[in-house]
Amino acid sequence: MKILAIATPLDHSGRIDELMHAACAAAPEGAADIHLLLTGEHAANDGMCAAGARVYRLPNPMSGAISPDALLDIAQRACEILDPALLLLSADTLGLQLAPRLAVRTQAAYVSGCCGFERTASGRLDFVRPIYGGRALEVLESTAALTIATIKPKSFADSARRDYTANSTVETLAIAWPSPSSAITRMASDTPHGREGPDLENARVIVSGGRGLGNADGYAELRRLAHVLDGAIGASRAAVDAGWIAASSQVGQTGTSVAPELYIAVGISGAVQHIAGMSASRNIIAINTDEEAPIFGFANVGVVADYRVIIPALISELAKKTA
């Protein structure tokens, strides 16, 4: 089975590793035919070597700007030239918009946010993906000659690598970069998010508050705890809707999806909307006055208590250790 992964300029080295791990996971035992198209200034990395991929380079002659339309044309040409059975892209902002458009153009099957593969008894490759914000999984069969899958970040990060002896070779592919679309012009770029403290998505600790805080002042207590733990501040949708904190701090299905080492949910009941965005956290502490709150079903550790009492006490306990 011929597998083509396309790395967009947004894909950093870690993401390319993941694409290669996914390609190895999808390839039938001993019959890997893995190709990798680099469309940015990517350096060679472990993943592509381990996968024994044939690597093609196509650096963008226009410095800086990434035009999704140009990448779409390139991906289509690459499919025509290489004729893969499976095409992989990262499930990020760019991949998630390119893949469905490419699937329509090439009459392919599309699997969004693929997080695993299953091989049936008859040897067919099926695709696993999360639905309902990660509360459930579905397994899809492709009925098209080409299947395009976007790979959910972190899903293949720890996959066991196969030990391929072949080294990657780097070639060029005869595709010209299309001229940028005249319909869309970038006027100003990247004013940063107005988020507080460490970046929510990459924070190792998140202290998050919900409607149970009672009012906006509750976040002052949470900020003190976040400061001690060098963490970021999060919020449930209820707290954002109540106007207590900026929408950029919202964790959940309509906000940011997070997976920190430690997530401390304070006064958060555990609506599906919220759970969907934080259930991948490695350790979860729930602090809530309602012992029936569903959040306790998702937490490793729970305390039924008033946060106004517990959090100051916890801060001083933590201070004792560092003192």
Partner 1 sequence: MRLFVCIKQALDWNSSTKDFRIDPATQQVAVSFARHRIDQFDEIALQVARQYRDRTGGELRALTVGAEETDDVLRHAHAMNVDQSTLIETTGQQASTAQLLAAAITHYGGASIVLCGRTSSDNGTGQTGPALAEHLGLPFIANIVHIEGDEHAWLCRCETPTGYELLKVNSPFVASVTNAASNVPRAPTMKDVMRAHRAKIDVLAAATLCPAPGSGLAQNTRVTRRYIPETSRSCRRFDGAPHEQANALAMYIRSLSIGA
Question: Smallest distance, Å, CB 8 to partner 1?
Answer: 12
Q: Which of 237, 244, 265, 278 binds partner 1 (CB under 8 A)?
A: 237
Based on the shown chain and the rule CB under 8 A, indicate whether residue 235 belongs to the binding site for partner 1.
no
Based on the shown chain and the rule CB under 8 A, indicate whether residue 158 belongs to the binding site for partner 1.
no
Complex with partner 1: residue 49 or 259, whichever CB lies closer: 259
d(CA 101, CA 110): 10
Size of the site for partner 1 (CB under 8 A): 103
Residue 277: other Cβ atoms inside 10 A: 25
Question: Smallest distance, Å, CB 248 to partner 1?
Answer: 7
Based on the shown chain and the rule CB under 8 A, indicate whether residue 155 belongs to the binding site for partner 1.
no
The pair of structure tokens assigned to 165 is 């002896």
Is residue 225 within 8 Å of 313, Cβ to Cβ?
no
Contacting partner 1 within 111-130 (CB under 8 A): 111-113, 126-127, 130
Binding mask 271-310 toward partner 1 (x if CB under 8 A, else -) reads xxx-xx--x---xxxx-------x-xxxxxxxxxx---xx
Contacting partner 1 within 253-272 (CB under 8 A): 253-255, 261-262, 269-272
Is residue 66 within 8 Å of 83, Cβ to Cβ?
no
Question: Smallest distance, Å, CB 109 to partner 1?
Answer: 4
Complex with partner 1: residue 126 or 196, whichever CB lies closer: 126
| Radius of gyration of the chain measured on its C-alpha atoms | 23
For residue 264, CA distances in Å to 104, 207, 210, 249, 271 come to: 42, 5, 11, 14, 15
Q: 21-38 burial, b for 16+ CB within 10 Å, e for fewer?
A: bbbbbbbeeeebbbbbbb
Is residue 231 within 8 Å of 204, Cβ to Cβ?
yes
Based on the shown chain and the rule CB under 8 A, indicate whether residue 46 belongs to the binding site for partner 1.
no
Based on the shown chain and the rule CB under 8 A, indicate whether residue 229 belongs to the binding site for partner 1.
yes
Contacting partner 1 within 198-217 (CB under 8 A): 204-205
